[in-house]
Every structure is written in C-alpha cells, then in structure tokens.
Amino acid sequence: MKHNITLTKNGKTVKGTVQLTGSKSECNRALIIEALSGGKVKVENISDAADAVTLAEVLSLESKVLSQKPNDSGLQTQDLRLINIGPAGTAMRFLTAFLTLQNEEVILTGSERMKQRPIGILVEALRELGAQIEYVENEGFPPIKLKGSLAQQSNKVSIKGNISSQYITALLLIAARLPLGLELHIEGDLTSRPYVEMTLAMLQSAGIQHAWNDNVIAIQNQEFAPTSIYIEPDWSAASYWYAIAALADEAELFLPGLTQYSLQGDSVITEIMANFGITSQFKDGGVYLQKEAKPLARKIFDLKECPDLAQTIIVVCAALGHEATFTGLETLKIKETDRIKALQNELAKIGVKLIEKGQVYKLDCSEKQIPEHVFINTYDDHRMAMAFAPLALLIPQVEVEDADVVEKSYPAFWTDLEKVGFIPPAP
C-alpha cells in the first residue's frame, strides 16, 4: 500500500556524512557482463537499488534455468517462461538483448508504464542481427516474446543516437558474444554519450576491446578476461545532496567513495552545481561539499549528456527563482513518466512555469511563491520524489506522495534525510 511522507527542516543548515548505494548504471552493466562472461567476471559492491536487485534476480534465475536444460538448440513450446521486470527500464533494454543469446524462449514484460515505453528501435536492430522477437500486445512496446540462440545474419546495424543510450549499450554489451561481432553505426547526435563511454570502459576492464571511429563502434567476437568490477557509489544519488546544499544557507556534507574521475556521466553535477556556489573537494576517499555565497548568473544548461539530472537542476533553479534555460531534454518524455509534464504540474504548485518552445525549455519564476505546505505527486517516478524533497529547506511542510518509489534507485533516501534533520522523529 502506498504511503506519503512529510518533510520538515528546522533551520537551513545541513551537515553530515552520507554513504550512498552503488551506482545503478554501473551495476546493471556489470551484472550483464558477469552473466555473459560465464563466471570469469565478478561484481563487488552491488547496488541495493530495486532496478539492480531485479536484474540480479532475473540473471540468477536465468543461470539456474539454463543449467538444468539439455544443451541443445531445440526450443520447445513448454520452455516458454514469463519474466516480469516491473518498472525497471534498464533491465528491460539490457535483457531484451541478453535474452536473444540464451537457449530458451521467454516473454519479457513489465509494469503498465513499462508497456508504454518504446522498445521498437532496439528490437529492430536485434532483428537485423538475426534475433527472433515478436510483440505480444502492441507493436513497438513490451511485452515481447524472444526466441534465443540468435543465428547471426549480419554484424552491421544502425541505430538512432538521440533516443536512448540504453539501446546502444544493450547492443554493445552482447557484441563480444556475437559470432560475427558487431559494427554499430550511430545515426545523428548521440544523447547521453557518457553512458556509452561508461559501457565501453567497463567492457574494456573485463578484457573486451573496441574501436570507435566517428559514428561507428566496432567490437569483435572475443573472450572476457577474469576480473573483478567494483561498483562506485551513485553520482545520480549524490545529485540530490548537491541540490540540498544549493538550497541551504550553510552546507557541509561528505559523500564517501565518490571519485573525481568517475565513469558515471552524472558526476558532471560537480561542475553544474558550482554555478550555485557548491564546491567539491575530493579527499579522504570521498567528496566534501560546501556552500559558498555566489551570485547566480543567467545560465543555459545543456543536459543532453546527463538527462537524469534534469529534474534536480530544474527544481533547484525554480526554488531559487533563477530563470534558467534548458536544452537536451528530449528523452525525458519517455522515462518512468513524461517528466516534462510532471515537472510542469508540480512546479505550478509554487507558481513557477516550465515553458516549452521546440526543444528549448525556460523557467518563468515571476509568480513564484513559497506556500506553508505543498503536496508533490510523484507519478511512479523515483526522481520526482527526490528532486522535490530539497524544497523542505524553503517550504515548512513538503508532503511527498508514494514514498516507496525511491526504492528504484536509492532505497535509503528517506533514512539519510532523517539523519540530517529533514524528517521529524516518530513520537
């Protein structure tokens, strides 16, 4: 049963140490690499984010199922198995590619929202490689029926770069296991390039070499090397603490385990939040955040390479009355919810408008207000809950709908907020 949570914060000073969970993005890639490596690769510091837990459980069960099957290519009707990944978008994309290589026939499905999130571009690319995939309900959307043991017909495939980097990553992760390897042609601009770079760096750490020339990424058929992959704490989760620091009068926070030279694209939050007076000092095995007084300059934020930070940054700007302009938000409409519409709805509750003009978005804070109480709808989207939570530094009572939604990526979020005084102790 869904329950809401009410945040209150006495004073506008925030101090403390926050130990973040492992990166969901890194972890999900590492889990697929581990499964494809046949035991050669081991993953350490697995994230407790619900998406990563779901993917780990599916891959573990998949390993057990396949180990009990006869080792032949005959796929019988009784082999059909249902895999439900709920709201885990990354798991849906990665498993769609992964399952084409497994010796079984399955139906891959998810939550009602997942059935509205497009998968057609990835399916078409996999079909070009020789995969057998059918749509069970609506063309271009989950659920899908996959018949494994892909018989590769070609090693060349083209895919649009501005839809979702997860489609590209899903293909790259299985590339070394394809008999003919993969030559991936990226059409147009590449959205979320750091996520593709993360994928290739993690594959390389597991012995998989690649060549990236212009818009073509090539990976030959090759073996994984024995190794261990350590999952760094989640920079996406860290972004909410940067937002808290930005809205505080004084902030001194320490986030252990985060490194300056991270594979995670969302580590760019250190540069973005410097605009709001937040300094990042890397020492003692982590990063120290500190708030310094700094005048805000009118700013255009291009978030094409870090769309998961969009809600966090937009809410901070709105709360500060900073009429910033944003670009690179094209993928937000096909996330856990239509994040543009969700932001517009919730920002209206403090009198702020997010105005869309083509692919450019601008905040209008001319009617901004600070109410005594605000109720934030979350739309089954973990990032809506966490992006709006820092408003408790400005608004006496911030009530957030469906508190458990944060389990998708940051299960300890409310507990961590309580430790620094955002949630009153139970009577």
The pLDDT value recorded for residue 416 is 97
> How far is it, in rounded angstroms, from Cα 316 to Cα 301?
13
Q: How many residues appear in the chain?
A: 427
Q: Is 358 left (phi over 0), alpha (psi -120 to 50) or beta?
A: left
- What is the rounded CA–CA span in Å between residue 250 and residue 140? 49
Q: What is the pTM of this model?
A: 0.84
Which residues are identified as catalytic? 308
So what's the pLDDT on residue 72?
46
Distance of CA 61 to the CA centre of its chain: 23
Q: Are 185 and 161 in contact (CB under 8 A)?
A: no
3-state secondary structure the chain: CCCCEEECCCCCEEEEECCCCECHHHHHHHHHHHHHCCCCEEEECCCCCHHHHHHHHHHHHHHHHHHCCCCCCCCCHHHCEEEECCCCHHHHHHHHHHHHHCCCEEEEECCCCHHHCCCHHHHHHHHHHCCEEEECCCCCCCCEEEECCCCCCCCEEEEECCCCHHHHHHHHHHHCCCCCCEEEEEECCCCCHHHHHHHHHHHHHCCCCCEEECCEEEECCCCCCCEEEECCECHHHHHHHHHHHHHCCEEEEEEECCCCCCCCHHHHHHHHHHCCCEEEEEECCEEEEEECCCCCCCCEEECCCCHHHHHHHHHHHHHCCCCCEEECCHHHHHCCCCHHHHHHHHHHHHCCEEEEECCEEEEECCCCCCCCEEEECCCCCHHHHHHHHHHHHCCCEEEECCHHHHHHCCCCHHHHHHHCCCCCCCC
Report pLDDT digits (tens) over 21-53: 999 999 999 999 999 999 999 999 999 999 999
* Cis before 143? omega within 30: yes
Region(s) of the chain under CATH 3.65.10.10: 5-22+232-419, 24-230
Fold for the domain defined by 5-22+232-419: UDP-n-acetylglucosamine1-carboxyvinyl-transferase; Chain (3.65.10)
Segment 210-214 shows an average pLDDT of: 97
Q: Which residue would you say has higher pLDDT here, 72 or 209?
A: 209
Homologous superfamily (CATH) of 24-230 is Enolpyruvate transferase domain (3.65.10.10)
The answer to whether residue 217 scores a pLDDT higher than 90 is yes
Nearest in space to 172 (alpha carbons), one of 191, 143, 197: 197
Structure tokens at 169: 């990553």
For 109-128, write each residue's pLDDT tens digit.
Answer: 999 989 999 999 999 999 99
Task: Give pLDDT, residue 18.
Answer: 97
CA-nearest of 376, 394, 233 to 311 is 376
Task: Measure CA 63 to chain center.
Answer: 25
| Tokens describing residue 206 | 């597991």
pLDDT classification of 320: cutoffs 50, 70, 90: very high
Confidence of residue 295 (pLDDT cuts 50, 70, 90): confident
Measure the CA–CA gap between 383 and 408, rounded to whole angstroms: 9
Summarize pLDDT for 159-190 with one digit per residue, the tens.
998 888 899 999 999 999 999 999 999 999 88
Residue 75 has pLDDT above 60, yes or no: no
**CA separation for the pair 376, 374 (Å, rounded):** 6
User: Could you report the per-residue pLDDT of 154-166, keeping only the tens digit for each?
Assistant: 999 999 988 888 9
